[in-house]
A and B are shown apart, each in its own frame.
Chain A
Amino acid sequence: MKVFQHTASAILVSSLIAGAAQAQISDDEIRIGYLADMSGTYRDLSGPGGLEALNMAIEDFGGQVNGKKIVVFSADDLNKPDVGANTVRQWVDERNVDMVTGMVASSVVLAASKVVEQSGKLALISGAAASSLTNEYCSPNHIHWTYDSYALANGTAKSVLAGGGKKWFILTADYAFGHAMEADITKVVEADGGQVVGKARHPFPSSDFSSYILQAQGSGADVIAFANAGSDTVNSLMTASQFGVAQSGQKLAGMVVFLNDIHAMGLDVTQNLMLTTGWYWDMNDESRAWAQRYHKRFGKMPGMVPAGIYSATTNYLNAIKATGSDEAQTVRAQMMATPVNDMFAKNGKVRADGRMVHDMYLAQVKTPAESKGEWDLYKIVRTIPGDEAYRPVSESKCQLLSKGVAKRD
């Protein structure tokens, strides 16, 4: 009797608490959802820092567009596709969110972008690398803004090949993203007359890379490429440094390396590493000014992802201002029609497949002697024009382009 009543009330109370957490909010606002890994491996890539950049963009706009207030929701996707997709679904069902940004882990983004498409909203993908997002998984409901794996692999691999590295050993993280990068690198290497002399796929994630570095050393390769990201790249590079790889003359090429990784590893380990980036804080006056503002607010120098979030959001809000609407397709069309020229990108444009094509930069990590400050980490070696960096339309499988075969599931 009382037992069941107690338990019943317990259940009712807990469900009511749950219910209160999903109360409805009225419209007449621009609602932006920020989805990223806030507590896991990719936290420092975007995470709370990316949210800071988003808020900066909104504040710089005055917090409202044409009188409509801008509201932000943020959530931790825990790097899990189910959590990410469900959060977006809930945002759309319950709060009628207009735009979703952040979006870091490729697996999360692939799942979440499907939900965005089904609900007719817009996603501005800033953190994820998978180039498939504007290839076989392209959609009229998202724009891939900051960078992608094709541009990174292409940029770095081509330059290293040009520098004389013909024989390659590829160390790949054993998951879909790693495989995709491995394929991209192989294609570039073989197209330029190079040869992949060895490869190893390590479990994702791994902690000990000594065996793979040893295999790479024994393979006779000129270049060791790391088709992995995050802590795997950090560990691989550290191990390579310990095993004296650089001294033996082999070059190291990191595919997906961010400023926060270099900062964490230190210049001793990473010096002279070649990498490609979409933006660097010390590039020009505009980027420096913005970066200093960010650093004052957040305590760290921004990498390309927060900068990309700021840029994407600002362009999005401008498009709303121009069209007077927050409907996804109207805004997207406006963004496609407007060139991107801000502190993040020069000569940027949004292509029909949703790819924001802009100049990329080949960088080399400075030696400890060359570095004059905690965040003085890169020197920009070359600017890679956007059309050269990104996958050309002719090779694309995106069905949104006038040519190209659709391969959607």
Chain B
Amino acid sequence: MTLIFGIPLSVMSGQLLLGLINGAFYALLSLGLAIIFGLLRIINFAHGAQYMLGAFAAVMGLNYLGVNYWAALVLAPLLVGVVGVFIERFLLRRIAGEDHLYGLLLTFGLALILEGSFVKLFGVSGSSYPMPEQLKGGFNLGFMFLPTYRAWVIVAALAVCLLTWFMIERTRLGSYLRAGTENPKLMQAFGINVPLLVTLTYGYGAALAAFAGVLAAPVYSVTPTMGANLLIVVFAVVVIGGMGSIMGAIVTGLAMGLIEGLTKVFYPEASNTVVFLVMVLVLLVRPAGLFGKEA
């Protein structure tokens, strides 16, 4: 039995795989934040609340409308995306020219409102969301038993991440978006409706958060504060990756999932804090993050 740092290889493989799965999840969550900051220069502190909304939309959809998991994967992000559109159009746009600080504070306030209201309405114990039939059970990989659902999470998260990256970096729409946020006046002169693009982008970022929420619902209990606890970790991931970089967020998310997974084996008490240690170290060496474009 090969030992790595005193842990058998088989056990280590299992932990690394789990770390990778969590990493894909972080990547998905960071993606929405990275898009909103990278392109719109808005620091979206409501991201955790939007994640929570997605999960609750799935729960309520199931309990009141009989919407199943697969439909929820599409409908919840759409719903939260629309909420995001409203937020951008009626609230964020008013402070568009101001210091980043205000966007941060506004979205922080929104998060407090959303989370507080949900606590009042649903209590804190949380709701459970049943595992979809097709994804129940798991397969024995030899070194561990992998639930099918966890395998699905990594596939879905990476697929959406790559799709988003492709859309933004390789399609025309994406190029309009990137240009529109760099030089809005010029783009408007070309006839591109930049404000609409901005609004839709924010909505898309919120929808990504909600998609992650639906993915999370069967495995983590759906509570009003589920986003708040994750939020600063996700922010840290985005900062480490470089706040403007889409690929940076994806790669860093995966890497942080692995690092956190290893920490859980050797020094689990620190597993919530290790991401901040990495952030400090990275920012000392590369002030703009690993893939960042500006200092």
User: Do chains A and B directly touch (beta carbons under 8 Å) in the complex?
Assistant: yes
Q: CB-CB < 8 A to B15: which residues of A? A: 211, 214-215
Contact check: which of B120, B145, B150, B219 meets A217 at CB < 8 Å? B145
Q: A265 — nearest CB in chain B belongs to which residue?
A: B128
Which of B10, B18, B130, B229 counts the most chain A CB atoms within 10 A? B18
| A203 lies within 8 A of chain B by Cβ | yes
Contact between chains at B131 and A242 (CB < 8 Å) = yes
Contact between chains at B265 and A264 (CB < 8 Å) = no
A38 to chain B minimum Cβ distance, whole angstroms, is 10
Q: B148 — nearest CB in chain A belongs to which residue?
A: A242
A234 to chain B minimum Cβ distance, whole angstroms, is 5
Contact between chains at A208 and B125 (CB < 8 Å) = no
Contact between chains at A44 and B221 (CB < 8 Å) = no
Q: CB-CB < 8 A to B219: which residues of A? A: 238-239, 242
Contact check: which of A43, A174, A269 meets B269 at CB < 8 Å? A174
A45 to chain B minimum Cβ distance, whole angstroms, is 9
Contact between chains at B119 and A39 (CB < 8 Å) = yes
CA distance in complex: A200, B270 (Å): 12
Beyond A207-B226, A207-B230, A242-B131, is A218–B124 a contact (Cβ under 8 Å)? no
| B127 lies within 8 A of chain A by Cβ | yes
Q: CB-CB < 8 A to B166: which residues of A? A: none
B-contacting residues, A30-47, CB 8 Å? 39-44
Contact between chains at B221 and A234 (CB < 8 Å) = yes
Contact check: which of A40, A202, A205, A269 meets B128 at CB < 8 Å? A269
Contact between chains at A44 and B269 (CB < 8 Å) = no
Contact with B along A193-211 (1 / 0, CB 8 A): 0000000111101111011
| B144 lies within 8 A of chain A by Cβ | yes
Q: CB-CB < 8 A to B270: which residues of A? A: 203
Q: CB-CB < 8 A to A205: which residues of B? A: 229
Contact between chains at A243 and B147 (CB < 8 Å) = yes
CA distance in complex: A291, B84 (Å): 44
Q: A213 — nearest CB in chain B belongs to which residue?
A: B18
Beyond A211-B264, A234-B221, A243-B145, is A266–B128 a contact (Cβ under 8 Å)? yes
B-contacting residues, A338-375, CB 8 Å? none
A41 to chain B minimum Cβ distance, whole angstroms, is 6
| B132 lies within 8 A of chain A by Cβ | no
Contact between chains at A206 and B272 (CB < 8 Å) = yes
Which of B125, B127, B145 counts the most chain A CB atoms within 10 A? B125
Interface contact tally, CB-CB below 8 A: 110
CA distance in complex: A268, B182 (Å): 52
Beyond A203-B271, A244-B145, is A208–B220 a contact (Cβ under 8 Å)? yes
A260 to chain B minimum Cβ distance, whole angstroms, is 6
Contact between chains at A235 and B268 (CB < 8 Å) = no
Contact between chains at B124 and A260 (CB < 8 Å) = no
| B126 lies within 8 A of chain A by Cβ | yes
A interface, size bucket: 35 or more
B-contacting residues, A184-238, CB 8 Å? 200-203, 205-208, 210-212, 214-215, 217-218, 231, 234-235, 238
CA distance in complex: A218, B18 (Å): 14
Q: CB-CB < 8 A to A208: which residues of B? A: 22, 220
Q: A200 — nearest CB in chain B belongs to which residue?
A: B268
Q: B269 — nearest CB in chain A belongs to which residue?
A: A174
Contact between chains at B14 and A214 (CB < 8 Å) = yes
Contact between chains at B271 and A235 (CB < 8 Å) = no
Q: CB-CB < 8 A to B273: which residues of A? A: 203
Beyond A206-B272, A210-B18, A214-B14, is A264–B126 a contact (Cβ under 8 Å)? yes
| A282 lies within 8 A of chain B by Cβ | no
Contact between chains at A260 and B125 (CB < 8 Å) = yes
Please report B residues at the A interface, Cβ cutoff 8 Å. 8, 10-11, 14-15, 18-19, 21-22, 116, 119-120, 123-128, 130-131, 137-138, 144-145, 147, 149-150, 219-221, 223, 226, 229-230, 261, 264-265, 268-273
**9 chain-A/chain-B pairs, Cβ below 8 angstroms:** A39-B116, A39-B119, A39-B124, A40-B119, A200-B264, A207-B220, A235-B220, A242-B131, A264-B221
Which 8 residue pairs across A and B have the least CB separation, nearest first?
A211-B264, A203-B272, A264-B125, A44-B125, A174-B269, A242-B147, A43-B124, A218-B11
